[in-house]
Structure 1
Amino acid sequence: MRKTLVAASLMAAVAGSSFAAVPTISQARIDAIVRSLQAQGQQVTPQQREMVRNQLVTAELLKQDAEKKGLDKTPEFRAELENMQTMALANQAIRDFQRRNPVTDSQLKAEYDRLVAQMPAKKSYHARHILVKTEAEAKAVIEALRKGKPFDQLAREKSLDPGSKANGGDLGWADAANFVGPFGDALTKLSKGQVTSTPVKTEFGWHVIKLDDVRTESAPPLEALKPQLEQKIGQERVDQYISDLKAKAGVK
């Protein structure tokens, strides 16, 4: 918010200024700000480049006025300038380190394999259910199933769930955690094709659940995770680089 207000103030100032000459801003200065924005993940359009140029023009005009007033000689300015120079050089050091230590494909693959090995096997369940008001009704449904009545037919006839009854009680594929506790717990105990032998009670009523199928979800491919992995490895290296500098300097 503060940066936006400052930028807006600068734009307003240049629009209303009465300076005779418009300062020339080098492309290198514009590119430096654009690189900084891109490093933050922003996409910079030609219109934004022009906005950057206008802001630099305004800043240059304000700088000239400040110098006329001697503000560049104050201790406050000197301290601020020193801090800005320090941060700018620090950023240059980091960029230089990153250029000299690029993340390789083999390192990406090793990090990907390590993360995949740590991921717990994630299962997805294709379930159906029949929802009724009472335990007695649910037991009657289970008995009808034992006698050979098709599950999908009973769901269309008996289920109170408007979202699934027309599809034979089909709930589609989902993680067991997506269901309310008792339902999800009962679902994970079923084998493929099996129906709960006793009714399952939840806040919605009584359920008879059938597990149509179960599958183990595979990890996303390396290419899908490549940008995140590059950022992770790169940041870890920068952190180590800084830690090493602190250790050499005796900084804790």
Structure 2
Amino acid sequence: MTFKPSRLLVVLFAAAALPVMAQNLAVVNGKAIPSSRADMMIKQLSAQGAQGGQPDTPELRAMVKDELINREVLIQEADKLGLGNNPDVKAQADIARQSILIRALVADFIKKNPIKDADIQAEYDKFKAQAGDKEYHAQHILVENEADAKAIIAKLKAGGKFEDLAKQSKDPGSAANGGDLGWATPASFVKPFSDALVALKPGQLTDTPVKTQFGYHVIKLDEVRPAKIPTLAEVKPQITEALQQKKLQAYQQDLRAKAVVK
């Protein structure tokens, strides 16, 4: 089969146009919406799967296409009205651009500076050492001055009920529960408190008030049990996140230190 010159040109131009057309999601008032824009939006939605995002399906793609067409229609109208020249709009667009670039910088830094398993293990070992191998179930009463704390200790030794006296505690989190602090490791408390706590035996009460930056504490130890330390696998995501944040903070501080600020 042979083509006439005019027919051949039509075929060639149509073939050349195919790749370009394939890259467009739609054309709105003569302006093309690239398919890459839809791919990016779908990628973002799919990446949020653990937080309730949606899988990449034909239905999702149809919804995204419709959304992008709606946006293009609105953007074209905004441009027609000259809203892009509004100073407030320009400032907001600049802030949005900064946020996008900063997110990209953070993602790039994390990718190039991955957290090593050895660092995670070291942080986990440090956590275990600080937590200790025991958990303590205690009660406390917090007051503002030493005299009040001593008076409470005297009442308790005279047979007063800890739960009743705890109602005057300045710690709102435990006062309503009779001063109950639940189960916790010593590392959960400030040092003067934890030191006094671990020195007690179950059923014992502090003989003297324990002073911390919060005030004066009267502490009673109820029970002690072996600590239930989470496994490395259980806390690995949190440790990784914490180490990443530490690295990012150091990176930001280094950039700030090198910056010329006038």
> Normalised by the size of structure 1, how large is the TM-score?
0.50
Q: Which has the higher contact order (CA 8 A, sep 6+)?
A: 1
